[in-house]
Amino acid sequence: MKTERFDKKLFKQEVLNNLKTQFRVELDNASQQQIYQAVAYALKEWIIEDWMDTQKTYEEKDPKILYYMSMEFLMGRALGNNLINMSMYGEVKEALDELGVDLNAVEDQEPDPALGNGGLGRLAACFLDSLATLGYAAYGCGIRYQYGMFKQKIKDGYQIEVPDEWLKNGNPFELKRPEYAKEVRFGGNIRTEYDEATGRTNFIQENYQSVMAVPFDYPIVGYGNHIVNTLRIWDAEAITDFQLDSFDKGEYDKAVEQKNLAKNIVEVLYPNDNHYEGKELRLKQQYFFVSASLQAAVAKYKKNHDDITKLYEKMTIQMNDTHPTVSVAELMRILMDEEGLGWDEAWEVTTKTCAYTNHTIMAEALEKWPIDLFSKLLPRVYQIVEEIDRRFVNKIREMYPGNEEKVKKMAILWDGQVRMAHMAIAAGYSVNGVAKLHTEILKNQELKDFYQMMPEKFNNKTNGITQRRFLMHGNPLLADWVTKKLGTDTWATDLSLMSGLKKYVDDPKAQKEFMDIKLQNKKRLAKYILEHNGVEVDPTSIFDVQVKRLHEYKRQLMNILHVMYLYNQLKKNPNMKFYPRTFIFGAKAAAGYLRAKQTIKLINSVADKVNNDASIKGKLKVVFIEDYRVSNAEWIFAAADVSEQISTASKEASGTGNMKFMLNGAPTLGTMDGANVEIVDEVGAENAFIFGMSSEEVINYENNGGYHPYEIYQNDKDIHEVLDQLVDGTYANGDPELYKDLYQSLLFGDTGSQADMYFILKDFRSYAEAQKKVEEAYRDTKGWAKMAMTNTAGCGKFSSDRTIQEYVDDIWHLDKIR
Ligand code: 26Q
């Protein structure tokens, strides 16, 4: 079936037919889930044609292919997004209406594919959308986790993690490709053998364990161009009996071990965001999908090309953070041990193929694998890493004779560890940060020595987001309005056109329309909150929103301390001038991150108290949205008035939620951190609420041993009061211990760490003042409408289409397919 002409009658027929053949039910008796499946399968038939055509075109035109290697792809639901990108949303909605079926309810049946933690994983998903939309040949390569990001339940204010059984009902969009299965080997030992015939030494892995990597392909539908790319995620299967060497047959123990290995390796996504944990299983996951993906990529190249030394002309590998950087050594292994290249030839190909993106400067997120763990699990790969390190260290010594300090700072192997970022930088042909400020900090601080040695590798690629999901799908009212105002819907593929809205920012009629849409979206969210939290919120109050992973550096704690401060004020002076405000939070905490979990509990405790205090007459409400994820995020962005981006300056590499809020008309209340800096560049300081220390100031304090929060506590009676309330039981049913750790961390620090490492007390006053300005600005209805519209009008730069085009122009040099 072609997407050229949508045939409503045919589509309805398909849906009814699918219900029959798959579930043996008529529409009247079908469950919502069955209807979802029937609709998704009907859509898949439409997609498949374009998918096959696209792949055929790629075969014929032989473009350079990008392999985007990532441990995470936070895709979100596929149904609605595919309908949007195929320009079928309206028609399918109509078709289903005629059957008496509500498309929204059907969409709600799809589990959110949550194969990612947060920013990094969602960025990968936006990139795939943009690559297909711009017409570039690309594969996303990752892992088909059985369990993605956990579902969050809130019980008595505490986070409970519930397994995410996203595959329970099968997945209509996936396609298993057993014909592309690859074997991946772990452990054992390496025997070297001199080959008389070739005069080469062969490296033979023995006594290893292996698994079969079996790919599942997902269609990535481009917007309005019939291009369908592929997300390839790998499942693991045990090597079956008949695949074992005859020598191994009958080794019962080994068979069981290999079964367990296969089961464990793809079992679950590690729910750590921005935090490294040296778990062997994590390294297994990394090598598993990297090895399988590279084997498949090289095999694909060899199908149509003879000269393996020209590999880099037809493929490039982007490594999404250090997680897949074992790619460097694995590609060397394949080129040398399997393709017969010598070291120098293999190195030339590898260093022209691999590129690396850094997403964080947080020390605790840097991957450093213990050498004994690494070398035992990947003995041949480790030999190669040793040689890469040896040659790299030689190069350092050549450039900086006698300067062993440089070796210490830059070597790949150091102090019993493999420093993955160092390997990626030594081998990559490009090293990029994800926002201007972040890249500058990399060049001048974190990776200074590398930058001095290899400045040509460093570049910036400011992140972006896809307007197809976060405006067209998430906020259809605003999307339609934009189209009407601009007189075209081509902003869908050229977000810079949004600047055409600037001429309306002072137009009272446009202002009213714009704010009316915001109100509708706030009502939609208020309904969601009532249903999920049982809390009634006033859609005319200011919706002040902080949604993102919970992390100390993101300072959700500062936000809730400020709410406690406001509440104290209101209690003391019930008639004070105060514009009604709803503080909305959404955040998952890594399961083992206690302080983050305490913060969630604190937010919920404050919510409980404040929401049920009749004396403040509903002027202040606090809501914690359970299980923040891509699907509810779309609604939350659409409904937000204020975008809280309050990380300690220098800590948030970029942020991408900030861009989604901006797109939907919410001004930023934030620090000069990450991409906030560039948002302010675009809209002007008068259309944002900026506060707090600069990144230079923060870094300065850090280099000089921190600061003394206790002085602030002693001198500022409001802060004093709020902090005391953490330990006097106000929010803990009288239990002084519950939030003691939070209190301690702010005033005294832990052993080995500074007090208030993230400068919450230091920035508190300036944050509170910025919040006051928000309130004043909101009272000015016209002024606010202008500010909100200016944000939407100024978001053009932050499309992931722009980001991808920059990657293509400066790094990947892909061929455009039309
Ligand atoms: C590492 C080792 C072991 C286990 C887990 C991890 C791990 C997992 C996820 C380390 C880091 C992450 C995620 C990092 C991340 O999401 N970074 C964010 O990337 C965004 C996209 O570039 C930026 O916008 C955010 O600023 C950055 O925090």
All domains of the chain in start order, with CATH: 467-696+714-726+759-799 (3.40.50.2000)
**Token pair of 347, please?**
């190195």
Q: Whole-angstrom Cα distance, residue 594 to residue 578? A: 34
Tell me, using a 6 A CB cutoff, whether residue 544 lines ligand 1: no
CA distance 518 to 668: 16
Ligand 1 in contact with 274 (CB < 6 A)?
yes
What residues in the chain have per-residue pLDDT under 50? Answer: 1-3
Does the Cβ of 277 fall within 6 Å of ligand 1? yes
Rg (CA), the chain: 27
**Inter-residue contact 590 to 596 (CB < 8 Å):** yes
Q: How far is the CA of 547 from the centre of ligand 1 (A)?
A: 16
- Whether residue 690 contacts residue 770, with contact meaning beta carbons closer than 8 Å, is answered with yes
Task: Find the 655 Cα to ligand 1 centroid distance in Å.
Answer: 11
Verify whether ligand 1 is closer than 6 Å to residue 434 (CB atom): yes
Q: Is 549 a catalytic residue?
A: yes
Which pLDDT score, from 0 to 100, does residue 1 have?
Answer: 45
Give the per-residue pLDDT at 244. Answer: 61
Active site residue 656: yes
119 lines ligand 1 (CB under 6 A): yes
**What is the C-alpha to C-alpha distance for residues 445 and 451, in angstroms, rounded to an integer?**
10
**Nearest protein CA to atom 9 of ligand 1, as residue:** 273
What distance in angstroms lies between residue 652's CA and the mean position of ligand 1's atoms?
10
* DSSP result, 650-665: TS-S--SHHHHHHHTT
> Under a CB-based contact definition with an 8 Å cutoff, are residues 145 and 115 in contact?
yes
User: Which residues neighbour 808 within 8 Å (Cβ) at sequence distance 6 or greater?
Assistant: 134, 136, 814
Identify whether the C-beta of residue 586 lies closer than 8 Å to the C-beta of residue 628. Answer: yes
From the list 774, 352, 356, the residue with the least C-alpha distance to 580 is 774
Q: Is the pTM value of this prediction over 0.90?
A: yes
> What are the tokens at 476?
């259809």
Which among 666, 670, 641 has a CA at the least distance from the CA of 580? 641
**Count of helix runs (H) and strand runs (E) in the chain:** 32, 23
557-595: buried (b, 16+ CB within 10 Å) or exposed (e) per residue?
bbbbbbbbbbbeebeeeeeeebebbbbbbbbbbbeebee
Which residue matches tokens 């947080």? 362
The rounded Å distance from CA 359 to ligand 1 centre is: 6
Question: Beta-strand (E) ranges in 156-309?
Answer: 158-162, 175-176, 182-186, 189-195, 200-206, 209-221, 228-238
Do 422 and 410 contact (CB within 8 A), yes or no?
Answer: yes
Does ligand 1 have an atom closer than 6 angstroms to the CB of 655? yes
For residue 247, the model assigns a pLDDT of: 57
Q: SS3 for 787-801, per residue?
A: HHHHHHHCCHHHEHH
Has 359 been annotated as catalytic?
A: yes
Kindly give, in sequence order, each residue whose CB lies less than 8 Å from that of residue 715, ignoring residues fewer than 6 positions away.
Answer: none
* Residue among 323, 438, 473, 549 flagged as catalytic: 549
- How far, rounded to the nearest angstrom, does the alpha carbon of residue 268 sit from its chain's CA centroid? 17
Distance 516 CA to ligand 1 centre (A): 37
127 close to ligand 1 (CB < 6 Angstrom) = no
HEC secondary structure over 330-391: HHHHHHHHHCCCCHHHHHHHHHHHEEEECCCCCHHHCCEEEHHHHHHHCHHHHHHHHHHHHH
Cβ(357) – ligand 1 distance below 6 Å: no
Question: Packing angle between helix 760-779 and helix 781-793, nearest 10 degrees?
Answer: 110
What separation in Å is there between the alpha carbon of 433 and the centre of ligand 1? 13
Instruction: Identify which of 733, 758, 732 has the alpha carbon closest to the alpha carbon of residue 745.
Output: 758
Output the CA torsion sign for 245, 251, 254, 259: positive
The ipTM value here is: 0.97
pLDDT in tens, 276-311: 999 999 999 999 999 999 999 999 999 999 999 999
Answer yes or no: 548 catalytic: yes
C-beta separation of 287 from 377 below 8 A: yes
- Other Cβ atoms less than 10 A from the Cβ of 700: the count is 11
Give 159-165 contacts, CB < 8 A, sequence gap 24+.
Answer: 159/588, 159/589, 159/597, 159/600, 159/601, 161/271, 161/591, 164/111, 164/114, 165/111
Closest among 344, 464, 367, 339 to 424, alpha carbons compared: 367
Mutation choice for ligand 1 from 126, 276, 357, 359, CB with most ligand atoms inside 8 A: 359
Looking at ligand 1, which residue's alpha carbon is closest to its atom 15? 120
